[in-house]
Amino acid sequence: MRRRQQPPLPKRHGLDPARLRLPEDGEWATIRDHLVERLPRVPAARIDELLREGGIVDLAGPIAPDAAYVPGGAIWFHRDLPVETDVPFEIGIVHRDDDLLVIDKPHFLSTIPRGQHILQTALVRLRRELDLPDLVPAHRLDRVTAGLVLFIVNPARRGAYQTMFHKRVVHKEYEAIARFDPELELPRTIISRIVKERQVLRAFEEPGEPNAETRVELIEERDGLARYRLRPRTGRTHQLRLHMNGLGLPILGDDFYPELTDKPVGDFSRPLQLLACALEFTDPITKVPRRFETRRTLQAWNDPVGWERGIRA
């Protein structure tokens, strides 16, 4: 396996610098000219400032503002961070050893940096708070879903643990709160084809070869609501939300299905009532069976009045 090139800049806020490969067929006079054209969202004045401050480097060190373009070269720099809204919820630690870290992610916290969520993500917060600069996730949860996420502490073990999820040998269990339908026969297995297009917020189901499978079971019901256990065999984007909606049981707090609603990023009321509650697998290193369970609960079941009013638990 080809080793990843070590960046010549240190991490900042727990994040590696961005790396840009300079095209072989480039005809720009300077690296600065190339960056102005390649990064149209970054003002030219900001690029000039980074060059003056030595914030753009190659393997030899800082790049001068008038440095000549080098076809096939590579440069590194730290991107400017977006203005973010603090996510005021703690990350629970379920398990930690030399190889693994299992957390209880709160609602509204992204697993990894993406788009407008960078510092306020589980990965960056954990790298900084626990002083684990090489920490990486073995899988992900949606920002609005709470519950268990497994991270890898030891870089030498990344392949073994990430492969478990790629091969679908990790048993996952979720809980969801939705309305109770006495006419619906459960348990049942939903099999469908789910498609998620780039730059489109919602996924959708369409005819064709199935690629998504979920087992849905009823745990208990009361007062028109029910707790459901969801056991996905696959991991398509928004799979559980789509399959529940397809049964006529949209998960409480879902702002995507059945209708897309515009919820401000800083609105932490009425979280999606979906919880990743268990992870179970045979450890690929020790060969010992392991099971981790969440310590979180879903507010709409324990405090339905508070959830409806948007009162945080």
> Annotated active-site positions, please?
142
3-state helix, strand, coil in the chain (%, to 5): 15, 30, 55
**Amino acid in position 103:** I
The per-residue b/e assignment along 149-172, b for 16 or more CB within 10 angstroms, e otherwise, is bbbbbeeebeeebbebbeeeebeb
Name the strand (E) or helix (H) holding 189: strand 188-192
Tokens of 249: 């049981």
**Look-up: residue for tokens 């945080």?**
312
- Residues 238 and 251 sit within 8 Å (Cβ to Cβ): no
Q: Which strands, in side-by-side order, build the sheet including 61-62?
A: 18-21, 74-77, 56-58, 61-62
CA distances from 303 to 108, 109, 178, 182, 232 (A): 19, 22, 14, 23, 27
Q: CA nearest 19: which of 34, 8, 30?
A: 8
Q: Cα–Cα distance between 296 and 90 in angstroms, integer?
A: 12
